Amino acid sequence: MMTLSRTQRLQEFMRLAAGAQDQESVLESLKTEESMGLESLTSGTEEAIDKTQVALGQFQRGDELSPESLDNLEAIIIPKLRPVYDVLNGSFDTTVADGPLSPGHTLWTKLTTDAQLKARITQVLPAIGRIELLWPTNVPYGGTGFVVGQGLLMTNRHVAQIFAQGLGDRNISFINGRAAGVDFKRDKAAGPVFKVRRVRMIHPYWDMALLEVDGIPGDIQPLRLAVDDAREMLHREVVVVGYPAFDGRNPADVQSDVMRDRYEVKRLQPGLLQGGFDTESFGKILTAATHDCSTTGGNSGSALMDLETGMIVGLHFAGKYLERNYAVPTSALAQDQRVVDTGVNFSPKASGGPNGWDDWWAKADQTAGPEAAAGGGSGTPPRPPPPMDAGPDAQSPRPGSGMLGPDGSVTFEVPLRITVSLGGGSYPKVTTESVTLESVEAPKPTPPGGKLVPKLVTDYADRTGYDANFLSGDTNLPAVSVPMPDADAALLAKLKAGGTRLDYQNFSIKTHVSRRLALITASNVTQEALLRQPEPGRDYSRAGLFAERWFRDLRLDDQYQIPEVFYDDDHGAFDKGHIVRRDDVAWGLTFGKLLQGNVDSFHITNCSPQVEGYNRSDSGEQNWGDLENHVLSEAASERLCVFAGPVLADSDQTFAGKGPKGETLSARVPRRFWKVIVARVSNGLACFGFVLEQDLSNVELEFTVAGEFIPAMRRLSEIAGLTSVTFDPALLAADQYETVRGAEIARRAGSVRT
């Protein structure tokens, strides 16, 4: 894909913003407004105005502009053609809450001068709120949502996944310790927060989620969602209503001028629909509706309202500065029977219909478990029957006893409650009596993973290791390669058979020669349902796969591996922390391959001493896995390549544990860990680098983790400098630290960009 210069990007933005109007006339009007001294970044001196007039003329002729001229023009064109209005006390006008006039271009004066149009817009404002995160977190809020049915709020999937886990409309739950609410006011002042009671749906195809919210006031009416396709409404005027945040991906001075340094409050942002356009979203490329309103991070989940009808035509979910912004078309949601059945207020009434994502629903159902899968493709999920009224005299049977019912049935618990009907016909009323049964509990089967623990070096022969071409699968995009990082050979432990790379199922490791810890890990990660659960009927739970224990790698001398007993006699200070996450590599075309990946993750070579709770993804605490989920939301494939390891510093503290013969064994414990996530995008690769720190500041053997982990987004070049790890030039070129995607991922993850 050809990279446009900044001048070309601004010219393309101008073409889109002019819509059906003649670009020349729009530019002439901008020049006129500047000459009249209207607000601009450069107004204030005649010399500055002259420079701006010259730059506008150069731009009009199509000349390549200097950075200074581009700064000036962006600060004129964007705020005027795509202004942002404050919403205050349920309305808006040409003045901000506390500042100078902000009329915008003459294109938009009708928003406040046309009483009928203003009333149409004002009517939707009360139903749009800010999604609050109700736990101590580094993220100020989740995004935006709007009421679409009785007690039903619509937002983005990537917003809901900040506090909820699961996919589809079955077996969705809140992440442990997290909760959310909605503030429908949040302008200059905060309003009451209405708690999200349940996550009703996380759509498997579109970036959409539905939340059930308690206590929404009766005067907040559900918005009407259009069944007409926004992708076919080229140049239709719309407004986005949401809560834009400061967005580090955009030039700070231009953003300051557009937003007037007011962020995270309710705003109204006009613009035009720009047709359908392909973009990456949760492991696929789909055709979204696009618009050119001045949205930023924090607008995720905003409503896109058609000025002509007052109906919602899209759900904003992403954007790129000076290019285009993306929205889920409501017409697509109207074609989904499961969405329709939730009670979303489509106008006119929607009846579902054929769509192109039944397979994605089937995958979500399969992941949800056999009970959900029994419900079928994209129909309404089966609901449990309402509980029967047992009457005031009803009793619950004791475990191991039976109860004879008046209809001739016997109910008993062993410990399941089972009701056995004794035949048809009527039965006389009988006196309830207890029938004692022997309590039976079936022995739990031994998890199969133990058989795959290598006993001989030859047992490793079929381990595939990290695949550099992994991201070329599961997509029709051109092939790409993601080489495993490397390091100076002098830093790496050599295998008994030679070489430095230990291949396991779905991942590989290179070990530091003196620290006896992994220096580099490389893993292939996927969310493809058929690889995550390849054989129906198997137990894919963690306990069902492997009776977990750590074991050494037979291919590597013991001197390069910290023995497990070191962790067993440390008074509970450390976890045996996975560097490659178990869940990341537990996948395969067969159950056997999945099991190999799961078991292989328990090699001591994949273990690093980590303070308790630091890397426990199963506990639901914030962890490394959250980062991967955020990256997947921006990816064109369900596959990722993940590199990780400790930052091995000379300043790391040394702690004492026990060796295999009871001797004292010392080891330096890493204070920081790094992770690089590589995703497939439509134009190549996208790389995201992070560093996470654990707290070792307390007294010996009494360590705690900070109340919240704050992952810091770092440049790959900085991570290379910290770790002595070498990244392929193609990965350095694909670093997203300074890009649109990088800023958005950092914001969602609550990451500090350092």
**pLDDT tens profile 38-85:** 344 444 455 555 665 666 666 666 677 676 666 655 555 566 677 888
pLDDT in tens, 349-403: 998 888 999 999 998 888 765 433 333 333 333 333 333 333 333 343 333 444 4
Q: Judge whether residue 721 has pLDDT over 90.
A: yes
Give the range of the structural domain holding residue 695, as residue numbers without chain letter.
Answer: 448-753
**Amino acid, res. 650:** D
| 284 or 23, greater pLDDT | 284
Q: What is the structure's pLDDT at 629?
A: 74
- Could you tell me the two tokens for 171? 């077996």
pLDDT in tens, 633-667: 778 888 999 999 999 988 887 776 655 666 666 77
232 domain-assigned: no
Domain boundary among 58, 81, 104: 81
Residue 140: HSE in the Cβ half-sphere, 13 Å Cα cutoff:
14
**Amino acid, res. 751:** S
pLDDT in tens, 583-629: 999 999 999 999 999 999 999 999 876 554 444 443 433 455 667 77
Strand locations in 161-301, DSSP E?
164-165, 173-174, 180-183, 193-202, 209-213, 225-226, 237-242, 267-280, 285-291
**Residues paired with residue 726 on neighbouring β-strands, in sequence order:** 486
Residue 538 maps to which CATH number?
A: 3.40.570.10
- Nearest Cα neighbor of 80 from 118, 32, 115, 125 is 32
- Nearest Cα neighbor of 534 from 470, 466, 592, 462 is 592
418 domain-assigned: no
- Nearest Cα neighbor of 320 from 606, 36, 634 is 634
- 339: exposed, middle or buried (C-beta count within 10 Å: 0-12, 13-18, 19+)? buried
Please give the radius of gyration of the chain, using alpha carbons only, rounded to the nearest integer: 30
Q: In this structure, how many other beta carbons lie within 10 angstroms of the beta carbon of residue 232? A: 13
Question: Rounded to an integer, what distance in angstroms lies between the CA atom of residue 525 and that of residue 647?
Answer: 22
175 domain-assigned: no
Question: Rounded to an integer, what distance in angstroms lies between the CA atom of residue 21 and that of residue 18?
Answer: 5
Q: What is the structure's pLDDT at 371?
A: 38
What is the widest separation between alpha-carbon atoms in the chain? 103
Model confidence at 297, pLDDT cuts 50, 70, 90, reads low
The residue assigned the tokens 């954007």 is 319
Q: What is the structure's pLDDT at 40?
A: 42
- Could you tell me the two tokens for 439? 């309590």
75 domain-assigned: yes
pLDDT in tens, 328-350: 999 999 999 999 999 999 999 99
> Which of 268-277, 426-435, 451-460, 737-746 has the highest average model confidence (pLDDT)?
451-460
| Helix, strand or coil, per DSSP, at residue 435 | strand
If you write DSSP's letter for every residue of 331-399 in order, what string do you get? Answer: HHHTT-HHHHHTT--EESPP-----S-HHHHHHHHHHH-HHHHTT-SSSPPP-PPPPP---TT--PPPB
- Nearest Cα neighbor of 40 from 104, 84, 92, 93 is 104
- Nearest Cα neighbor of 406 from 417, 396, 392, 421 is 421
Q: What is the structure's pLDDT at 698?
A: 41
267 domain-assigned: no
Core vs surface per residue 152-172: b (16+ CB within 10 A) or e:
bbbbbbbbbbbbbbbbbbbbb
Question: Rounded to an integer, what distance in angstroms lies between the CA atom of residue 203 and that of residue 369?
Answer: 17
- Could you tell me the two tokens for 544? 């069902």
- 596: exposed, middle or buried (C-beta count within 10 Å: 0-12, 13-18, 19+)? buried
Question: Rounded to an integer, what distance in angstroms lies between the CA atom of residue 377 and that of residue 366?
Answer: 10
635 domain-assigned: yes
Domain boundary among 59, 81, 103: 81
- 575: exposed, middle or buried (C-beta count within 10 Å: 0-12, 13-18, 19+)? middle
The residue assigned the tokens 């062993």 is 414
252 domain-assigned: no
| Helix, strand or coil, per DSSP, at residue 642 | strand
Q: Judge whether residue 2 has pLDDT over 80.
A: no
- 588: exposed, middle or buried (C-beta count within 10 Å: 0-12, 13-18, 19+)? buried
Whether the Cβ atoms of residue 559 and residue 393 lie closer than 8 Å to each other: no
- Could you tell me the two tokens for 167? 């996919």
Q: What is the structure's pLDDT at 9?
A: 66
Q: Judge whether residue 150 has pLDDT over 90.
A: yes
pLDDT in tens, 516-531: 999 999 999 998 888 9
Domain boundary among 40, 58, 81: 81
22 domain-assigned: yes
Whether the Cβ atoms of residue 314 and residue 327 lie closer than 8 Å to each other: yes
Q: What is the structure's pLDDT at 696?
A: 47
Q: How many domains, the chain?
A: 2
- Nearest Cα neighbor of 261 from 271, 246, 276, 248 is 246
If you write DSSP's letter for every residue of 44-56 in order, what string do you get? Answer: TSHHHHHHHHHHH
Whether the Cβ atoms of residue 612 and residue 574 lie closer than 8 Å to each other: yes
Q: Judge whether residue 10 has pLDDT over 70.
A: no
- Nearest Cα neighbor of 474 from 623, 359, 318 is 359
- Nearest Cα neighbor of 254 from 485, 559, 42 is 42
Mean pLDDT computed over 704-727: 76
Instruction: Provide the 8-state DSSP code for 88.
Output: B
Kindly give, in sequence order, each residue whose CB lies less than 8 Å from that of residue 753, ignoring residues fewer than 6 positions away. 248, 712, 713, 737, 742, 743, 746
- 261: exposed, middle or buried (C-beta count within 10 Å: 0-12, 13-18, 19+)? exposed
% of residues, the chain, pLDDT over 70? 65
Question: Rounded to an integer, what distance in angstroms lies between the CA atom of residue 743 and that of residue 84?
Answer: 21
Kindly give, in sequence order, each residue whose CB lies less than 8 Å from that of residue 510, ignoring residues fewer than 6 positions away. 486, 487, 492, 493, 500, 501, 502, 518, 519, 520, 521
- Could you tell me the two tokens for 457? 């070096």
Q: Judge whether residue 492 has pLDDT over 80.
A: yes
> Is the overall model pTM greater than 0.85, yes or no?
no
